[in-house]
Amino acid sequence: MKRREFLKTAGVGLAASAVAAPAIAQSMPEIKWRLTASWPKSLDTLYGGCEYFCKRIAEITDNKFQIQLFAAGEIVPGLQVLDAVQSGTVEMGNTAMYYYWGKDPAFTFGTALPFGLNARQMISWVRFADGEAMLNELMAKYNTIGFASHNTGAQMGGWFRKEIKSLEDLKGLKFRIGGFGGSIIAKLGVVPQQLAGGDIYPALEKGTLDACEWVGPYDDEKLGFQKVARYYYYPGWWEGCGQAHTMINLAKWNELPKSYQSAIITACGDTWTWVLGRYDAANPPALKRLIAGGAQLRAFPQDVMEACYKAANETYADLSKTNPLFKKMYDSLVPFRSDSYLWMQVAEGSFDNFMIRMRTRS
C-alpha cells in the first residue's frame, strides 16, 4: 500500500474511533451498587460465591460496574434480604427464595421443593422448562427480578441429639429446618424453627433446638454442630439441591444498560457453577473429618422417608387448590422430574451405582 493511501485509510479509522469512543463511554457508565447476603462471612462458599459474583461483574465491565457486598446482619438480618431489595434499601441481594415461603409458598420452587429436583434437574428446569419465567412472575409481585446464582447440591438431613428410629422419635422435636420443608415435617409432630445460619449453633448449644440442618459436611463443620449433636442424618429430602438467587430491585434493573444486565446474568451462571463445584470438592474430606471426630452417620428410616413423602404430596395437592402460581409451577415440575429420572435411571444412575459399588474394590 502506498504511503498516501495508508495515511488516508488510517485517518478514516481514527475518525471512526473518535466518533465511537463517546458512544462506548455512554453505554458503560460507572455504577456502584450494594448487595446484601443471607450468609455470614464464615461460610466461605455461600458468602464466597457472592464475593466471586461481585468480582466477575467488575471484570466483565472493566470495573465500571462495582458492587459492594455486605454479610448477613450488616445492613439487614439474613432472612430479610427480599424485603431490603423490594423496598430499594439495597439494589440487590443474595438469598434462598424459600426463606420467604410465608409470603407465598410458591417461593419454595426457587430453592428446593421437598422431594423435588436435584441440582442438574433444577438448573435445567429453570433455564429450559420456563422455571425462570415463572419464578420471575412471582418475584415481580415483590418489585424484584432474580437469577439462579448458587447451588449446594443435595444436602444432609442434619444433626440430632438423639437417634431417629421411628416416626415416634419425631414428635415434639424442636428442629431448625430451612424454608418450606418445616411445614411438611410439622405434620409428623416436629416443631420447625427457621433461623439464619449464624444463629443456629447458640440455639442448639443452649437446648433451644433438639436438632438442626444447614447444608452439608463442609459448612456444618465450620459452624461446629458436631460439638453439640452426635447423630448426622441423610438425606435432606427437603433439599435435593439448595439453590440461591441473586435478586435485583426491578426498577433498578430496568435502569441498567443492556450490557450490564447481561453481565449480571453471565456472572450468576458462573457463580452457580463455582459454588456447586466448590461444595463437591470440599464436602468429601469434611465428611471424613467429621466421622473421624465421632459423628455417627445415619440414614433416615424408610418409614420416616415414606411418611414425609406422603405428607409432602398431600401439602402440594392442598396448595394447588388455592394458589394458582404454586399449581402452575408444580404442574410444570412434576412431569419434568419424572422424565428426567427416567433418563437418569438409564444412563447416569446406572453408571453412578456401578462406580459406587466398584469404589470398595479399587
What residues contact residue 140 under an 8 Å CB cut-off, 6+ apart? 250
**CATH code (residue 181):** 3.40.190.10
Report the relative pairing of strands 174-176 and 211-212 from DSSP bridges. parallel
Regarding whether 117 and 203 lie in a shared domain, the answer is no
Regarding whether 121 and 259 lie in a shared domain, the answer is yes
Residue 82 placed within a domain: yes
Regarding whether 124 and 136 lie in a shared domain, the answer is yes
Regarding whether 93 and 197 lie in a shared domain, the answer is no
Regarding whether 111 and 195 lie in a shared domain, the answer is no
How many domains are contained in the chain? 2
Residue 267 placed within a domain: yes
Residue with cell 464464615: 42
Regarding whether 256 and 136 lie in a shared domain, the answer is yes
Three-state SS string over the chain comes to: CCHHHHHHHHHHHHHHHHHHHHHHHHHCCCEEEEEEECCCCCCCCHHHHHHHHHHHHHHHCCCCEEEEEECCCCCCCHHHHHHHHHHCCCCEEEECHHHHCCCCHHHHHHCCCCCCCCHHHHHHHHHHCCHHHHHHHHHHHHCEEEEEEEECCCCCCEEECCCCCCHHHHCCCEEECCCCHHHHHHHHCCEEECCCHHHHHHHHHHCCCCEECCCCHHHHHHHCHHHCCCEEEECCCCCCCCEEEEEEEHHHHHHCCHHHHHHHHHHHHHHHHHHHHHHHHHHHHHHHHHHHCCCEEEECCHHHHHHHHHHHHHHHHHHHHHCHHHHHHHHHHHHHHHHHHHHHHHCHHHHHHHHHHHHCCC
Q: What is the pLDDT along the chain (362 residues), one digit of tens a residue?
A: 444 444 444 444 434 444 444 445 567 899 999 999 999 999 999 999 999 999 999 999 999 999 999 999 999 999 999 999 999 999 999 999 999 999 999 999 999 999 999 999 999 999 999 999 999 999 999 999 999 999 999 999 999 999 999 999 999 999 999 878 999 999 999 999 988 888 899 999 999 999 999 999 999 999 999 999 999 999 999 999 999 999 999 999 999 999 999 999 999 999 999 999 999 999 999 999 999 999 999 999 999 999 999 999 999 999 999 999 999 999 999 999 999 999 999 999 999 999 999 998 86
Regarding whether 67 and 112 lie in a shared domain, the answer is yes
Q: For residues 119 and 333, what is the distance between their CA atoms, to the nearest angstrom?
A: 13
Regarding whether 233 and 324 lie in a shared domain, the answer is yes
**CATH code (residue 98):** 3.40.190.170
Regarding whether 137 and 118 lie in a shared domain, the answer is yes
Residue 49 placed within a domain: yes
Phi-psi region of 62 (alpha: psi -120 to 50; beta: other; left: phi over 0): left
Residue 21 placed within a domain: no
Residue with cell 473518535: 18
Regarding whether 257 and 314 lie in a shared domain, the answer is no
Regarding whether 247 and 235 lie in a shared domain, the answer is no
Return the C-alpha cell found at 132.
Answer: 425462570
Q: Is the full-model pTM beyond 0.85?
A: yes
Nearest Cα neighbor of 145 from 103, 86, 101 is 86
Residue 356 placed within a domain: no
Regarding whether 247 and 210 lie in a shared domain, the answer is no
Q: For residues 4 and 42, what is the distance between their CA atoms, to the nearest angstrom?
A: 65
* Domain carrying residue 120: 30-152+241-281
